[in-house]
């Protein structure tokens, strides 16, 4: 009997955590690769999980175990039948997307609520049924005559094991070797296996039903939790959940929006639960409190200084700090759990706090922090630091507050007086105050306050980009326009990544900047475009519009831009004038189409464009669905005979050139790649950025102007496996 219940709980947990990244990946291309896709999915799954817990609790309370088991089995069978019916009409996959996916991105409306509505129809019922599995099976087991029936919480060990193995298996096995359709079928078969397990568990429970075990579950005189206890459960669940979505947003924006990183943060979050609720935690709460300040110190320094390189350091510091702060917060939550008879309400309130934390980040923050950026992330870090402080004492000592104020004052003074140079900020402005945190490490309240103060200074600091003159966030990220007095230029920044700039000096205002700098790779491309008389130009990704400096009379340019705010900024002459001045009356013409470039381009007539330039970014994270073989097939179908397809492969974290070469070979296209670095301070001042561009064309003749003497090279000798909508090797492409 124990094996049947344990195996069923294991399978249910594995299915629960397998479907989350699978659905997120399925939806990612529909919404332009935005990190908000995963966070919206995450809060949806948290809410349905809470609904499943509520269903398990009240259905048993109102119906009794034996009646409830029959109703649940019928609901389970109906769910599998519904998924099977969808699969027959969808090439075997149980998850059916709308026929017209452009509706989510072709308007200026926030797609959050339409996405939630889609999730309800797509996976709401099956996820709800599976989410109720663990509490139901635990409750059913408690009503048997088994010797361990009075303490069925050992089943959570099986649940935790299934969850962790599933999260590890998805990016490393399923996502690499199974397509999304095969993954959906595999998940449905797993659901059918779980139904068999539920039938067996229900039969065992009914055959060996006993009330005596539950009566021995614990003393009836245990203190009833107060509302103060309940509020503490909610708070200590709220903060880690909020930080989970905040950390995921940061990594997905600044590194890559991909299931590998989604799973990494979710797995660490889950692992902290496993550790703190284990009978014998393999990391004690005291050890966590001892190590967390060191990790938090490094994380505070990296976040305050806005450091994003090298990749291995950024990822390591963020994930280590996130893990240890979560471990302390969840440890404090575990310390506050009530007597056994109140555990059901404890888990319900804990789940409620998790839902609130996710909803705060994904639904509320984009509204209340619309003009402030990703403020919820530093708020989550500060709240986690304050929990760390509470784990070691309280905040009643005036000296602790004075110490924190002193650290902040020193950082602000250096910020004001020291020059705005790249190495100065990390090494001095934040490095020296961070050193001052070291003596406070053993005084957790003092350390927490001082680290929080340094984070606040980091948030106030405009960084190296100058004074912010425009800031707005939406579903697609945070967009800033700043004025850099050293360059006398306006800069456009997405996340923490500079993407374009325009000089305010009249003699330099219409010079191409950033990746399109004169005498760079794209300057050569547009020389060829001009000589060949290309008329129809397509650009995916608008930015500030600097590429428009190459527009020629008689040309028509079509820009695809998923973010309506980006279009508004690019066309507003108080920020940038490229679009106004490079498309004068009587000159080249242009149009901007709002929506995902791949979906919008698929709706265009074949052979429409002479040149297609893929320049779509989400901060430093390229939307992966634009970099697959299927995407390339869409672009090439829209390319006129004799045309060229250009990829901007510039990225500080990923080396995409080999993957693009493999796509070119698979599509029988010729390949060239050129890279250009910033060589002088004057080039940097005038806006040049290091870049890498890839050209694909149907014949070598079309690429004849792009030879080695011009800095263009052919494909590497060894090509990786082709990236598709079903497969991509992110680890192999990382610039560690």
All domains of the chain in start order, with CATH: 1-217 (1.20.1250), 510-733 (3.40.50.150)
Report the mean per-residue pLDDT for the chain.
Answer: 87
- Name the percent of the chain lying above pLDDT 90: 50
How confident is the model over 534-558, as pLDDT tens digits?
Answer: 999 999 999 899 999 999 999 999 9
CA 630 to mean position of chain CA atoms: 23
Return the structure tokens found at 367.
């509204």
> What would the mean pLDDT of 612-629 be, rounded to a whole number?
77
Ramachandran bin of 161, using left for φ above 0, alpha for ψ from -120 to 50, beta for the remaining angles: alpha
Burial of 226 (0-12, 13-18, 19+ CB in 10 A): exposed
Beta bridge partners of 648: 693
> What would the mean pLDDT of 682-710 be, rounded to a whole number?
91
Only one residue has tokens 């989604």, namely 262
**Rounded CA separation 182/93 (Å):** 7
Residue 284 has pLDDT above 70, yes or no: yes
Question: Between 324 and 263, whose confidence is greater?
Answer: 324
CA 725 to mean position of chain CA atoms: 18
Residue 431 has pLDDT above 50, yes or no: yes
Question: Between 50 and 147, whose confidence is greater?
Answer: 50
Structure confidence at residue 108 (pLDDT)? 54
Structure confidence at residue 637 (pLDDT)? 97
Residue 575 has pLDDT above 60, yes or no: yes
CA 571 to mean position of chain CA atoms: 29
Residue 262 has pLDDT above 80, yes or no: no
Residue 218 has pLDDT above 70, yes or no: no
> What would the mean pLDDT of 698-718 be, rounded to a whole number?
94
Structure confidence at residue 219 (pLDDT)? 47
How confident is the model over 301-327, as pLDDT tens digits?
Answer: 888 887 777 777 888 899 999 999 999
Residue 3 has pLDDT above 60, yes or no: yes
Q: How confident is the model at residue 44 (pLDDT cuts 50, 70, 90)?
A: very high
**Rounded CA separation 582/548 (Å):** 6
Q: How confident is the model at residue 279 (pLDDT cuts 50, 70, 90)?
A: confident
> What would the mean pLDDT of 507-527 be, rounded to a whole number?
91
> What would the mean pLDDT of 403-411 be, rounded to a whole number?
94
Lowest mean pLDDT among 28-37, 238-247, 338-347, 716-725: 28-37
Handedness of CA 327, 333, 335, 337 (dihedral sign): negative
Q: How confident is the model at residue 495 (pLDDT cuts 50, 70, 90)?
A: confident
Sheet holding 477-484: strands in order across? 467-474, 477-484, 489-494, 497-503
Return the structure tokens found at 692.
């890498």
Query: If you count them, how many residues does the chain have?
Result: 736
Q: How confident is the model at residue 215 (pLDDT cuts 50, 70, 90)?
A: very low
Question: Between 428 and 82, whose confidence is greater?
Answer: 82
> What would the mean pLDDT of 268-287 be, rounded to a whole number?
87
**Rounded CA separation 641/191 (Å):** 49
């Amino acid at each position: 009997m124990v094996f049947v219940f344990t195996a069923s709980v294991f399978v249910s947990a594995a299915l629960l955590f397998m479907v989350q990244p699978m659905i997120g990946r399925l939806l990612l291309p529909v919404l332009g690769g935005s990190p908000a896709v995963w966070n919206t999915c995450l809060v949806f799954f948290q809410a349905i999980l809470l609904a499943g817990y509520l269903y398990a609790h009240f259905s048993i309370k109102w119906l009794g175990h034996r009646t409830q088991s029959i109703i649940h089995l019928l609901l389970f069978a109906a769910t599998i039948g519904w998924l099977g019916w969808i699969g027959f009409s969808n090439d075997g996959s149980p998850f059916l997307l709308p026929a017209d996916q452009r509706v989510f991105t072709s308007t200026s409306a926030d797609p959050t609520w339409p996405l939630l509505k889609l999730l309800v129809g797509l996976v709401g019922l099956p996820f709800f049924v599976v989410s109720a599995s663990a509490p139901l099976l635990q409750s059913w087991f408690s009503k048997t005559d088994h010797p361990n029936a009075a303490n069925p919480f050992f089943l959570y060990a099986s649940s935790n094991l299934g969850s962790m193995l599933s999260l590890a298996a998805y990016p490393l096995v399923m996502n690499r070797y199974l397509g999304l359709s095969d993954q959906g079928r595999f998940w449905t078969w797993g659901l059918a296996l779980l139904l068999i397990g539920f039938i067996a568990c229900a039969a065992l429970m009914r055959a060996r039903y006993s009330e005596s075990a539950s009566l021995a579950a614990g003393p009836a005189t245990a203190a009833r939790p107060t509302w103060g206890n309940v509020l503490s459960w909610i708070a200590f669940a709220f903060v880690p959940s909020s930080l989970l979505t905040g950390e995921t947003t940061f990594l997905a924006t600044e590194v890559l929006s991909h299931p590998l990183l989604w799973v990494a943060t979710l797995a660490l979050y889950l692992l902290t639960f496993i550790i703190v609720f284990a009978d014998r935690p393999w990391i004690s709460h005291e050890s966590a409190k001892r190590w967390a300040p060191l990790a938090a110190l490094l994380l505070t320094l990296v976040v305050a200084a806005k450091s994003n390189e090298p990749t291995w350091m950024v990822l390591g510091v963020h994930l280590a700090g996130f893990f240890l702060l979560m471990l302390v917060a969840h440890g404090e939550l575990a310390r506050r759990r009530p007597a056994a008879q109140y555990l059901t309400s404890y888990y319900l309130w804990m789940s409620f706090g998790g839902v609130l934390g996710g909803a705060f980040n994904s639904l509320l923050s984009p509204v209340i922090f619309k003009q402030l950026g990703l403020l919820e992330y530093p708020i989550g870090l500060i709240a986690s630091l304050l929990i760390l402080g509470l784990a070691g004492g309280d905040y009643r000592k005036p000296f602790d507050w004075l110490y924190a104020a002193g650290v902040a004052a020193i950082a602000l003074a250096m910020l004001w007086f020291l020059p705005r140079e790249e190495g100065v900020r990390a090494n001095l402005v934040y490095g020296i105050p961070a050193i001052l945190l070291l003596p406070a490490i053993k005084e957790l309240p003092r350390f927490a306050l001082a680290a929080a103060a340094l984070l606040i200074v980091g948030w106030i600091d405009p960084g190296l980009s100058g004074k912010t003159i425009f800031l707005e966030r939406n579903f697609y990220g945070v967009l800033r326009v700043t004025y850099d007095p050293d360059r006398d230029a306006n800069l456009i920044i997405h996340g923490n990544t500079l993407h374009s700039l325009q000089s305010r000096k009249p003699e330099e205002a219409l010079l191409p900047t950033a990746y399109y700098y004169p005498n760079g790779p794209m300057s050569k491309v547009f020389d060829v475009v001009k000589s060949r008389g290309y008329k129809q130009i397509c650009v995916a990704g608008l930015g500030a519009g600097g590429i428009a400096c190459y527009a020629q009379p008689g040309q028509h340019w079509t820009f695809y831009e998923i973010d309506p705010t980006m279009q508004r900024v690019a066309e507003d002459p108080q920020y940038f004038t490229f679009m106004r001045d490079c498309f004068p009356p009587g000159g080249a013409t242009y149009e901007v189409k709002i929506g995902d470039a791949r979906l919008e381009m698929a709706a265009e007539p074949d052979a429409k464009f002479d040149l297609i330039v893929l320049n779509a970014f989400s901060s430093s994270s390229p939307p992966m669905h634009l970099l697959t073989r299927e995407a390339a097939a869409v672009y090439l179908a829209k390319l006129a005979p004799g045309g060229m397809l250009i990829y901007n492969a510039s990225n500080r974290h990923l080396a995409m050139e080999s993957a693009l070469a493999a796509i070119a070979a698979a599509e029988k296209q010729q390949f060239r790649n050129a890279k250009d670095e910033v060589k002088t301070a004057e080039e940097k001042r005038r806006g040049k950025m290091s870049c890498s561009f890839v050209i694909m064309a149907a014949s070598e003749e079309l690429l004849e102007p792009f030879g080695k003497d011009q800095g263009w090279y052919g494909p590497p000798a060894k090509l990786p496996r082709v990236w598709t909508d079903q497969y991509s090797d992110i680890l192999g492409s990382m610039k560690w």
